[in-house]
């Protein structure tokens, strides 16, 4: 065999070699015509380039603002109008409707499941004729900008797994959050700011915790982690230089530091080192970019009236909405708000009033504000909780007071802008508001659709970790074409 | 080769030849009496073998024909003749099997058309031709010119016959449709201009119905190619009837089971998809209007959704006809303050965003001219862009979207933008442009939307712009007519306990707000109350109340805070009666630790009493000159926490020598009293030296009748005591 190889070597003439070579080249050239991307460089690591990803196809939306209503608002008192519940107020939920649904420990032992009609009045709004209750006058006024999905459904029945599922596509922790996936897939637009910001606020209703695992980067690179803004006067802490230190000293310090880091990188080749250097550099640029953004004093009075006067009180939902708009305007890819206090197991009519007072005006204002700046087209705004609330009462039912337990089978979320059809009510629930009768949207479908709006194919946005490829949508998810404009 | 096997091999050959001959005869016979022939059910399986068998003769005969074409010397033939004969025989035999099964298959439903006619006869010709070739192979020697013509003709026959067969199963334009689609894609009609019939319904009829319902071949007397004929219907009558539940004949036939003879389109033919059926049904339901536009439908209509799928919308990207820019150039021009990026991985188009006002220079735009063929969108909001800069921007011919919100432009040079022939969207919100300049924008040829919110334009000018048809103007939210209540001001001091002159600072986040306040417990009003201009200095127990006022707003709700004066540090406290086990706080030290609680009963800083009185000694190491004792207590009506019915303050040298200094009987809440408040109960007495003070506070024994807990005992809560 070795001899044959040797003979082949010495017996090959130049002419022979060139003619074979030209054939080979020709076939490769033809092949490359058929597979255009084949010779595009892809082996180069994009670790040292923070402007990493590009969308797979032309995106409708460039940014997302997710107004998460933590604790799960009652869809039956806000969006999903069910007169049948008022008619049957106090009667037991038929077992045929409940259909063996798993219940939380809070109502599993209840002897009866008395149906509770909403105490609030509903009306239809806008050209779409969307039903909304009197609690949401501002959102009602922009009904034609909203796509109200009544048929979201999830698998989890308790807050932590449900919230984690919505944020990361899995009920257990440690997977990357949606914002981290987007930061990984699309990179940051404005390199002077983090690509994924988190803003927290809390209402007076019964609250549920939020924790940093919800904005974790999971197994993705740490630059994709969500940055939590503080709810005080200084949204980003420790951004100011210490007294007596000026910008040039800081610059010198960073230059020297990065020289040292570069040396270490050359020795060990650990990409986390370059990531760290870039984080330092971003922090340096944030020192000028952040104060510019968080300064609310230049907002015109019409804006203050639009979001409501609370918007200038740091840490409120209204202030966070306004800040979200400003961050989004400056190219922050994903802004995650959480507003706590929707978990009304008892005394719902009273609690929900306060919660709606907190969020109604500012949520609507955010849409109107983006619209008047010409940014709504490229910004996807999402409003909703981790699940819905039951149509039956938890605890004692009276004529005007009730509580509602967690309900995963059908609940309402709305979206606006970002290439989502405006003025649409999507999906239907049965007359008890318990089960979906038309167009269900699972959390995975919801994720797939969001990614699609940002120009990402949810099946292609993958990261290989511990020997398997992970996706935000796990192994499921299909586009909800009915809501895509 | 073993000689003994030779005769048997020849026998085999003979047998196959004979069977082939027999089958050809049978085939011709059946063809002759085709009209009287109906396929017995057991033979259908033979018919359906056609697709399986047909590829053998096709390939084998082509091979043979090619061989005949390239052979030039008798010499080589001898060498190959055994093999070539066998090849032709296999071809001949399989050809007749294929033709025969094909004939039987053709008797099944759904294959009646011109194509079938030609395919059938060519198949027969191939079968008969090949057996003739085999029979005369010794005369048709391959090196003869006539043989070569024969072979060439045969190849042509095989190609065309095969292709027609392909058309039958896969559809007429199966072969070239991928190529044909490319050329038609460009001509897709935009959704706004599409008609329901011409652009949605007709193409479906064309694909699925015309083949049998046309001028030449009107099955069931129905022709569908013109509107008149379609309306006329066929032998069985009109195609639709909206008064019937099934919407008439057309949909009735479509909905019949596939096995039904009358099901349309016939079994074996391309079937309508579910979406197409819905389209036809909806169109008929809407009155089968031949001119109705898709755009007249609501977006929820299933026909609209169908149109979006067929005509685009969804994921179709705008097609750009320019080449991608040099990647190195893009990289070079990217800075941390100027982002240049492709719209998507496949797109040659670029967008540019600018950040950070302080670093911006006009040159930053000018540098981009190197990429002017690719930049389709530019976001300059909040950058100090001047009017002159628009002249540079006008040199980017591919711009579709331009955002100039809150830039420094005055609008003098907006006319320059007319050079941007492709500009569709322009945002100039928050700039000081004027109406005369804005009105001229409609001369930009492609412009569709302009955002002019928060410019200096008046309501009347906005109304004027709204009349414009070609361009739509987004004027945004106006606040002039809206009057909201202000939020209350903020009392910045956190510590409620003061030990001397203390400055109280108030603030409000909304600029230009007037804060008015009182220190006498009265409600502030917008006329008489003091205006806050500098910190308020207080030195005694004070309830400070404040409200905010501003033109164009309703006054805020009041905010108040009680400031407790604490002159003397109480050295120690001894509780005579123990607090309730649920609210022990820190027991003895609770009321003199200088820590105020908030109004939450469960803060752990309140001492709670219900079953017995609150009684405590306050002890001083050195006598103090006092004239006042103040108790900070809680009222929480809903939580059964009421003020004490009676407070006694005793004082003296020590525990044994006390005299009653003051008795308070606080006002009891009534039904209308606010639920929660931090109370300050002040006991004033003549100035005297004291080393020991004894306090007694009695809880209410029976809650009043209006209270949900009527008749039950009330609580008393205390968190701090001050001696002045």
SS3 B56: helix
Please state, rounded to an integer, the average pLDDT across all residues of chain A.
Answer: 87
Q: Across residues B560-567, what is the average pLDDT?
A: 90
Say if A280 falls within a structural domain: yes
B272 and B250 Cβ atoms separated by less than 8 Å: no
In a mutational test of the A interface, the residue from B453, B457, B490, B494 whose CB has the highest number of chain A CBs within 10 Å is B453
CA distance B183 to B177: 10
> pLDDT at position A136, please?
96
Tokens standing for residue B483: 């009057």
B686 and B628 Cβ atoms separated by less than 8 Å: no
Comparing B676 with A272, the larger pLDDT belongs to B676
Of A250-259, B69-78, B174-183, least confident by mean pLDDT is B174-183
Q: Nearest CA to CA, how far is B711 from chain A (Å)?
A: 24
The verdict on B27 and B142 lying in the same domain is yes
**Where does B265-348 have alpha helices with state H?**
274-285, 302-311, 327-333
DSSP B320: P
Q: How confident is the model at residue A350 (pLDDT cuts 50, 70, 90)?
A: very high
The verdict on A15 and A81 lying in the same domain is no
CATH number of the domain that B519 lies in?
Answer: 2.60.40
CA distance B438 to B412: 10
Q: How confident is the model at residue A48 (pLDDT cuts 50, 70, 90)?
A: very low
> pLDDT at position B463, please?
87
Distance of CA A124 to the CA centre of its chain: 28
CATH number of the domain that B627 lies in?
Answer: 2.60.120.260
Q: Nearest CA to CA, how far is B234 from chain A (Å)?
A: 37
CA distance B399 to B314: 23
The verdict on B560 and B582 lying in the same domain is no
A288 and A236 Cβ atoms separated by less than 8 Å: no
Say if B276 falls within a structural domain: yes
Q: Across residues B97-117, what is the average pLDDT?
A: 82
Q: How many CB pairs under 8 A join A and B?
A: 123
B280, B311, B342 - which closes a domain: B311
Q: Does B301 contact chain A (CB < 8 Å)? A: no
Q: How confident is the model at residue A46 (pLDDT cuts 50, 70, 90)?
A: very low
CA distance B570 to B563: 18
Comparing A268 with A36, the larger pLDDT belongs to A268
Contact A424 B299 (CB under 8 A): yes
CA distance A154 to B158: 59
> pLDDT at position A286, please?
87
Show Cβ contacts of residue A313 under 8 Å, excluding neighbours closer than 6 positions.
A319, B487, B490, B509
Q: Which residues of A touch B358 (CB under 8 A)?
A: 288
Residue B4 has pLDDT above 50, yes or no: no
The verdict on B116 and B217 lying in the same domain is no
> pLDDT at position B2, please?
42
Please state, rounded to an integer, the average pLDDT across all residues of chain B.
Answer: 86
How many separate domains does chain B show? Answer: 5
B266 and B110 Cβ atoms separated by less than 8 Å: yes
Residue B210 has pLDDT above 90, yes or no: no
> pLDDT at position A2, please?
60
Q: Across residues B251-267, what is the average pLDDT?
A: 86
Show Cβ contacts of residue B208 under 8 Å, excluding neighbours closer than 6 positions.
B265, B269, B270, B271, B272, B276
A379 and A60 Cβ atoms separated by less than 8 Å: no
The verdict on B244 and B159 lying in the same domain is no
Q: Across residues B319-323, what is the average pLDDT?
A: 85
Q: Nearest CA to CA, how far is A279 from chain B (Å)?
A: 13
Q: How confident is the model at residue B106 (pLDDT cuts 50, 70, 90)?
A: confident
B645 and B665 Cβ atoms separated by less than 8 Å: yes
The verdict on B609 and B667 lying in the same domain is yes
Say if A14 falls within a structural domain: yes
Residue A424 has pLDDT above 50, yes or no: yes
| Of the partner residues A306, A309, A331, the one whose CB lies closest to the CB of residue B353 | A331
The verdict on B85 and B210 lying in the same domain is no
pLDDT digits (tens, 9 = 90+) for A156-210: 999 999 999 999 999 988 899 999 999 999 988 888 888 999 999 999 888 888 8
CATH number of the domain that A292 lies in?
Answer: 3.40.720.10
Comparing A311 with A47, the larger pLDDT belongs to A311
Tokens standing for residue B19: 């069977």
Say if B382 falls within a structural domain: yes
pLDDT digits (tens, 9 = 90+) for B435-473: 888 888 888 988 989 999 888 888 888 888 888 878 889
DSSP B258: T
Tokens standing for residue B640: 């059964």
Residue B187 has pLDDT above 70, yes or no: no
For residue B262, the enclosing domain spans 196-311
Q: Does B337 contact chain A (CB < 8 Å)? A: yes
Q: How confident is the model at residue B315 (pLDDT cuts 50, 70, 90)?
A: very low
B543 and B519 Cβ atoms separated by less than 8 Å: yes
The verdict on A92 and A230 lying in the same domain is yes
> pLDDT at position B79, please?
58
B contact residues 492-531, partner A, Cβ 8 Å cutoff: 509-511
Say if B316 falls within a structural domain: no
| Chain B: residue whose CA lies nearest to A285 | B336
Residue A348 has pLDDT above 90, yes or no: yes
The verdict on B555 and B572 lying in the same domain is no
Residue A380 has pLDDT above 80, yes or no: yes
> pLDDT at position A41, please?
41
Contact B344 A301 (CB under 8 A): no
Say if A266 falls within a structural domain: no
The verdict on A13 and A87 lying in the same domain is no
The verdict on A304 and A365 lying in the same domain is yes
For residue A191, CA distances in Å to A129, A278, B608 come to 42, 10, 56
Say if A235 falls within a structural domain: yes
The verdict on A395 and A458 lying in the same domain is yes
> pLDDT at position A214, please?
93
* Spatial CA neighbour of B141 closest among B206, B68, B222, B55: B68
For residue A84, the enclosing domain spans 63-240+275-483
Of A426-440, B257-271, B408-422, B489-503, least confident by mean pLDDT is B257-271
The verdict on B374 and B444 lying in the same domain is yes
Q: In what order do the strands lie in the sheet with B559-565?
A: B497-498, B559-565, B542-549, B514-518, B530-531
Q: Nearest CA to CA, how far is A12 from chain B (Å)?
A: 32
The verdict on B573 and B528 lying in the same domain is no
Contact A190 B477 (CB under 8 A): no
> pLDDT at position B10, please?
67
Say if B179 falls within a structural domain: no
> pLDDT at position A7, please?
62
Residue A66 has pLDDT above 60, yes or no: yes
The verdict on B545 and B622 lying in the same domain is no
The verdict on A406 and A363 lying in the same domain is yes
Of A118-127, A356-365, B244-253, least confident by mean pLDDT is B244-253
Tokens standing for residue A425: 């009510």
Q: Which residues of B touch A145 (CB under 8 A)?
A: none
Per-position DSSP letters for B585-608, written without gaps between them: TTGGGGGGSS----S-GGGS--EE
The verdict on A217 and A102 lying in the same domain is yes
CA distance A233 to A243: 19
pLDDT digits (tens, 9 = 90+) for B356-385: 888 899 999 999 999 999 999 999 999 999
Say if A138 falls within a structural domain: yes
Q: Across residues B161-187, what is the average pLDDT?
A: 71
Q: Which residues of B touch A190 (CB under 8 A)?
A: 339, 353, 355
Say if A247 falls within a structural domain: no
CA distance A290 to A288: 6
Say if A250 falls within a structural domain: no
CA distance B670 to B672: 5
At what angle are helices B145-170 and B55-70 packed, to 10 degrees?
150
Say if B541 falls within a structural domain: yes
Q: How confident is the model at residue A26 (pLDDT cuts 50, 70, 90)?
A: low
The verdict on A23 and A76 lying in the same domain is no
Comparing A412 with B301, the larger pLDDT belongs to A412
Q: Does B680 contact chain A (CB < 8 Å)? A: no
Per-position DSSP letters for B110-151, written without gaps between them: T--SHHHHHHHHHHHHHHHHHHHHHHTTTTS-TTSHHHHHHH
The verdict on B574 and B533 lying in the same domain is no
Q: Which residues of A touch B318 (CB under 8 A)?
A: 58
Say if A289 falls within a structural domain: yes
Residue B203 has pLDDT above 90, yes or no: no
B440, B474, B508 - which closes a domain: B474
The verdict on B22 and B87 lying in the same domain is yes
For residue B645, CA distances in Å to B634, B665, B701, B706, B708 come to 13, 6, 9, 17, 19
Q: How confident is the model at residue B180 (pLDDT cuts 50, 70, 90)?
A: low
Per-position DSSP letters for B215-244, written without gaps between them: SS-BGGG---SSHHHHHH-BTTB-S--TTS
Quote the Cα angle for B221-B226-B227, to 5°. Answer: 100
pLDDT digits (tens, 9 = 90+) for B391-402: 999 999 999 999
> pLDDT at position B231, please?
87
B118, B153, B170 - which closes a domain: B170
Say if B357 falls within a structural domain: yes
The verdict on A163 and A30 lying in the same domain is no
Q: Which residues of A touch B474 (CB under 8 A)?
A: 371-372, 374
Contact A305 B484 (CB under 8 A): yes
> pLDDT at position A144, please?
92
pLDDT > 90 fraction of chain B, expressed in percent and rounded:
32
How many separate domains does chain A show? Answer: 2
Say if B134 falls within a structural domain: yes
Residue B228 has pLDDT above 90, yes or no: no
pLDDT digits (tens, 9 = 90+) for A116-132: 999 999 999 988 899 99
Q: For chain A, give the secondary structure using H, E and C.
A: CHHHHHHHHHHCCHHHHHHHHHHHHHHHHHHHHHCCCCCCCCCCCCCCCCCCCCCCCCCCCCEEEEEEECCCCCHHHHCCCCHHHHHCCCCECCHHHHCCCCCCCCCCCCCCCEECCCCCCEEEECCCCEEEECCCHHHHHCHHHEEEEEEEECCCCCHHHHHHHHHHCCCCCCCCCHHHHHHHHHCCCCCCCCCEEEEEEECCCCCCCCCHHHHCCCCCCHHHCCEECCCCCCCCCCCCCCCCCCHHHHHHHHHHHHHHHHHHHHHHCCHHHHHHHHHHHHHHHHHHHHHHHHCCCCCCHHHHHHHCHHHHCCCCHHHHHHHHHHHHHCCCCEEEEEEECCCCCCCHHHHHHHHHHHHHHHHHHHHHHHHHCCCHHHEEEEEECCCEEEEEEECCCCCCCCEEEEECCCEEEEEECCCECCCEEECEECCCCCCEEECCEEHHHHHHHHHHHCCCCCCCCCEEECCEEECCCCCCCCCCHHHEC
Say if B368 falls within a structural domain: yes
CA distance A132 to A363: 15
Q: Across residues B245-265, what is the average pLDDT?
A: 86
The verdict on A24 and A162 lying in the same domain is no
Contact A372 B476 (CB under 8 A): yes
pLDDT digits (tens, 9 = 90+) for A446-468: 999 999 999 999 988 999 888 88
The verdict on A104 and A179 lying in the same domain is yes
């Amino acid at each position: 065999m070795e001899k044959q190889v040797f003979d082949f070597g010495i017996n090959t003439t130049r002419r022979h070699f060139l003619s074979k070579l030209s054939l080979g080249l020709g076939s490769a050239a033809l092949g490359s015509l058929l597979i255009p991307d084949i010779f595009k460089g892809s082996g180069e690591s994009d670790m040292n380039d923070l402007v990493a990803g590009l969308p797979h196809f032309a995106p409708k939306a460039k940014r997302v603002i997710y107004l998460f209503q933590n604790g799960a608002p009652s869809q039956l008192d806000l969006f999903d109008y069910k007169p049948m519940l008022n008619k049957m107020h106090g009667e037991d939920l038929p077992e045929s409707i409940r259909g063996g649904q798993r219940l939380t420990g809070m109502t599993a032992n209840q002897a009866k499941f008395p149906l509770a009609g909403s105490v609030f009045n509903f009306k239809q709004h806008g050209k779409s004729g969307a039903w909304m209750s009197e609690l949401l006058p501002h959102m009602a006024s922009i009904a034609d900008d909203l796509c109200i999905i009544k048929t979201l459904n999830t698998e989890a029945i308790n807050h932590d797994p449900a919230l984690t599922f919505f944020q990361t596509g899995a009920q257990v922790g440690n997977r990357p959050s949606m914002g981290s996936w987007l930061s990984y897939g699309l990179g940051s637009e404005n390199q002077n700011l983090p690509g994924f910001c988190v803003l927290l606020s809390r209402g007076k209703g019964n609250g549920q915790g939020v924790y940093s695992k919800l904005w974790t980067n999971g197994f993705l690179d740490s630059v994709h982690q969500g940055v939590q803004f503080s709810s005080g006067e200084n949204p980003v802490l420790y951004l100011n230089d210490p007294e007596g230190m000026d910008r040039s000293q800081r610059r010198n310090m960073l230059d020297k530091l990065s020289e040292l880091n570069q040396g270490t990188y050359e020795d060990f080749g650990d990409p986390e080192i370059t990531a760290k250097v870039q984080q330092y550099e971003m922090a340096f640029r944030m020192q000028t970019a952040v104060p510019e953004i968080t300064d609310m004093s230049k907002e015109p009075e019409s804006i203050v009236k639009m979001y409501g006067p609370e918007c200038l009180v740091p840490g409120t939902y209204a202030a966070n909405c306004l800040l979200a708009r400003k961050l989004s305007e400056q190219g922050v890819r994903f802004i995650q708000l959480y507003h706590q206090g929707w978990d009304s197991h008892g005394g719902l009519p009273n609690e929900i009033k306060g919660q709606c007072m907190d969020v109604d005006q500012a949520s609507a204002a955010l849409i109107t504000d983006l619209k008047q700046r010409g940014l709504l087209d490229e910004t996807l705004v999402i409003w909703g909780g981790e699940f819905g609330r039951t149509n039956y009462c938890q605890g004692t039912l009276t004529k005007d007071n009730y509580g509602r337990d967690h309900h995963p089978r059908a609940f309402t979320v709305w979206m606006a802008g970002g290439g989502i059809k405006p003025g649409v009510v999507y999906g239907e629930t049965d007359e008890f508001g318990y089960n979906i009768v038309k167009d269900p949207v699972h959390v995975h479908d919801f994720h797939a659709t969001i990614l699609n709006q940002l120009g990402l194919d949810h099946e292609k946005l993958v990261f290989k970790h511990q020997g398997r490829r992970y996706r935000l949508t796990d192994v499921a998810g299909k586009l909800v074409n009915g809501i895509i404009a | 080769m073993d000689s003994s096997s030779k005769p048997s091999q020849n026998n085999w050959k003979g047998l196959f030849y004979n069977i082939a001959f027999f089958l050809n005869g049978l085939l011709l016979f059946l063809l002759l009496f085709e009209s009287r022939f109906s396929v017995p059910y057991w033979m259908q399986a033979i018919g359906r073998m056609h697709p399986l068998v047909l590829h053998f003769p096709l390939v084998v005969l082509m091979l043979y024909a090619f061989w005949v074409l390239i052979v030039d010397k008798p010499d080589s033939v001898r060498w190959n003749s055994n093999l070539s004969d066998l090849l032709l025989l296999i071809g001949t035999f399989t050809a007749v099997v294929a033709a025969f099964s094909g004939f039987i298959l053709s008797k099944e439903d759904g294959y009646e058309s011109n194509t079938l006619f030609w395919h059938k006869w060519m198949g027969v010709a191939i079968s008969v031709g090949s057996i003739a070739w085999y029979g005369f192979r010794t005369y048709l020697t391959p090196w003869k010119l006539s043989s070569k013509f024969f072979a060439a003709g045969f190849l042509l026959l095989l190609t065309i016959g095969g292709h027609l067969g392909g058309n039958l199963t896969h559809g007429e334009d199966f072969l070239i449709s991928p190529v044909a689609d490319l050329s038609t894609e460009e001509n897709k009609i935009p959704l706004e201009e599409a008609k329901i019939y011409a652009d949605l319904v007709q193409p479906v009829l064309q694909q699925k119905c015309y083949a049998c319902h046309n001028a030449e071949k009107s099955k069931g007397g129905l022709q569908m190619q013109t509107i008149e004929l379609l309306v006329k219907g066929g032998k069985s009558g009109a195609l639709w009837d909206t008064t019937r539940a099934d919407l008439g004949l057309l949909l009735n036939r479509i909905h019949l089971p596939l096995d039904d003879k009358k099901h349309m389109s016939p079994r074996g033919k391309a079937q309508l998809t579910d979406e197409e059926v819905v389209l036809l049904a909806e169109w008929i339901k809407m009155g089968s209007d031949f001119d109705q536009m898709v755009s007249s439908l609501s977006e929820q209509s299933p026909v609209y959704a169908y149109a979006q799928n067929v005509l685009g919308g969804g994921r179709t990207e705008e097609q750009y006809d320019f080449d991608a820019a040099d990647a190195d150039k893009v990289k070079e021009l990217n800075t941390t303050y100027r982002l240049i990026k492709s719209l998507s991985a496949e797109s040659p188009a670029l967008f540019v965003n600018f950040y950070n006002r302080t670093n911006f220079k006009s040159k930053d735009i000018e540098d981009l001219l190197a990429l002017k063929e690719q930049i389709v969108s530019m976001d300059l909001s909040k950058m100090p862009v001047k009017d002159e800069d628009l002249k540079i921007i006008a040199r980017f011919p591919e711009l579709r979207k331009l955002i100039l919100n809150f830039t420094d432009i005055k609008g003098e040079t907006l006319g320059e933008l007319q050079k941007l022939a492709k500009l569709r969207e322009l945002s100039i919100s928050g700039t000081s442009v004027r109406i005369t300049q804005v009105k001229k924008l409609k001369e930009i040829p492609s412009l569709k939307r302009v955002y002019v919110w928060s410019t200096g334009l008046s309501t009347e000018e906005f109304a004027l712009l709204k009349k414009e048809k070609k361009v739509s103007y987004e004027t945004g939210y106006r606040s002039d007519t809206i009057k909201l209540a202000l939020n209350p001001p903020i009392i910045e001091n956190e510590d409620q306990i003061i030990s001397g002159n203390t400055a109280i600072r108030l603030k409000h986040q909304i600029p230009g707000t007037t804060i008015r306040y009182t220190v006498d417990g009265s409600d502030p009003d917008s006329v008489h109350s003091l205006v806050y201009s500098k910190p308020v200095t207080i030195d005694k127990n004070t309830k400070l109340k404040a409200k905010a006022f501003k033109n164009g707003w309703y006054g805020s709700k009041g905010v108040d805070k009680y400031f407790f004066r604490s002159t003397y540090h109480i050295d120690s406290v001894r509780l005579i009666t123990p607090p309730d086990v649920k609210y022990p706080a820190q027991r003895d030290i609770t009321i003199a630790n200088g820590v105020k609680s908030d109004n939450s009963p469960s803060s752990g800083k309140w001492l709670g009493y219900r079953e017995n009185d609150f009684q405590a000694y306050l002890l001083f190491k050195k006598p103090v000159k006092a004239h006042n004792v103040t108790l900070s207590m809680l009222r929480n009506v809903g939580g059964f926490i009421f003020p004490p019915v009676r407070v006694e303050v005793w004082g003296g040298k020590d525990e044994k020598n006390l005299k009653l200094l003051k008795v308070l009987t606080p006002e009891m809440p009534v039904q209308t009293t606010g639920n929660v408040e931090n109370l300050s109960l002040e006991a004033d007495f003549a100035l005297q030296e004291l080393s020991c003070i004894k306090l007694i506070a009695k809880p209410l024994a029976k809650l009043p009748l209006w209270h949900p807990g009527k008749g039950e005992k009330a609580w008393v809560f205390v968190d701090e005591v001050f001696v002045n």
